[in-house]
Amino acid sequence: MTKYEEELHGWLSRERLWQDLEGKTVMVTGASGMVGKCLTDLFMMRRRIRVIAVSRNERRARERFSAWRGDARFRYVSCDVNSAIPECGPVDYIIHGASHTHPRLYAGDPIGTIAANVFGTRNLLDYGISHGMRRFCFVSSVEIYGENRGDRERFDESYMGYLDCNTLRAGYPESKRLGESLCSAYREAYGTEYVIPRLSRVYGPTMLESDSKAVSQFIRRAAKGENIVLKSDGTPRYSYTFVTDAAAGIVWTLAVGRPGEAYNVVDQESDMTLGELAERLAHIAGSRVVFERPEETERKGYSAATKALMSGDKLARIGWKARVHMEEGLFHTVEQLKNNGFQTAGE
């Protein structure tokens, strides 16, 4: 059993997490992405939950969900959430995780980045309202906090830092902010119940070959035994969370969180600078850290934040706590990818 599978089983034993979800239907958008794949596995392994997995890339989905093919509880729907949602039947919960999540996509498809978080969110809210939805879960991000103004060590859920909205890169955090506001507007207009998990930077063995985030590039190179390429001075300091903990944090927010509230999903024991992260992975790989200038398209998609540490106190107060910390998570991610390879189906 891999560490990934072991951790899924660990979360499956937390009965508080599942008591309101048993026998229900959950729609997961962005289902074939790093976190969406983990969410789908988690729900399907619980056995008494029906899953509607939604993504744009049918070829990737066939590869990612081969284990669930033929299971009556699993249904895959290929669609772009920015268009009308096709008829999928009644749904109890919707988890909207379809979004561009790494620099090359932010820069290469800036309009699509914004659309999924705004138009996609509206389309899914409308679908849920007309199909018996109990609760909507909008998966947000540490990015909404912007740059630390120097007045806080960690971002709690009430913090709001500086964002220059007149930049290409701002499309992602600004549209996440607007997606959150749209949920609030639907609550006021239609009484829609929603919750918002805000994820830190996530890593784990369900990452895709195409993922251009720094942590993903470092892990990919470490798994191949290559030198770790650092494309900055390495000083930005961020919070990280292992993918099974991130997925469980989303489910915990969905099942236990108070309606209308946002919750940071973060392992506070996994804060690290990019330089420290590169050195840690070079040690695991038996390689070294080298420096390289980023490509222009990639550079345009980089976050400007130099310190983005999150407080996980609010989610901890309702019972969630990370199980896998950085050193262990990085080691097992590299080992699993080294042994099993990467998911390579295109975007």
Residue 111 CA: distances (Å) to CA of 125, 176, 264, 302 = 20, 13, 26, 16
Q: Are strands 228-230 and 289-291 parallel, antiparallel or unpaired?
A: parallel
Task: Output the pTM of the full model.
Answer: 0.94
159 class by beta-carbon count within 10 Å (0-12 exposed, 13-18 middle, 19+ buried): middle
3-class SS of residue 170: coil
Q: How far apart are CA 297 and CA 10, in angstroms?
A: 40
Q: Nearest-CA neighbor of 142 among 112, 172, 110, 121?
A: 172
Rounded to 5°, the CA angle 7-10-13 comes to: 155
Chain mean position to CA 58: 20
pLDDT tens, residue by residue, 89-143? 999 999 999 987 767 766 678 888 899 999 999 999 999 999 999 999 999 999 9
The residue behind tokens 């620099």 is: 103
pLDDT tens, residue by residue, 182-212? 999 999 999 999 999 999 999 999 998 888 7
Provide the residue-wise pLDDT of the chain in tens; the chain has 347 residues. 899 999 999 999 999 899 999 999 999 999 999 999 999 999 999 989 999 999 998 998 999 999 999 999 999 999 999 998 999 999 999 999 998 776 776 667 888 889 999 999 999 999 999 999 999 999 999 999 999 998 999 999 999 999 999 988 889 999 999 999 999 999 999 999 999 999 999 999 999 888 878 999 999 999 999 999 998 888 999 999 999 999 999 999 999 999 999 999 999 999 999 999 999 999 999 999 998 876 666 555 456 678 899 999 999 999 999 999 999 999 999 999 998 876 654 44
Q: Nearest-CA neighbor of 209 among 200, 199, 219?
A: 219
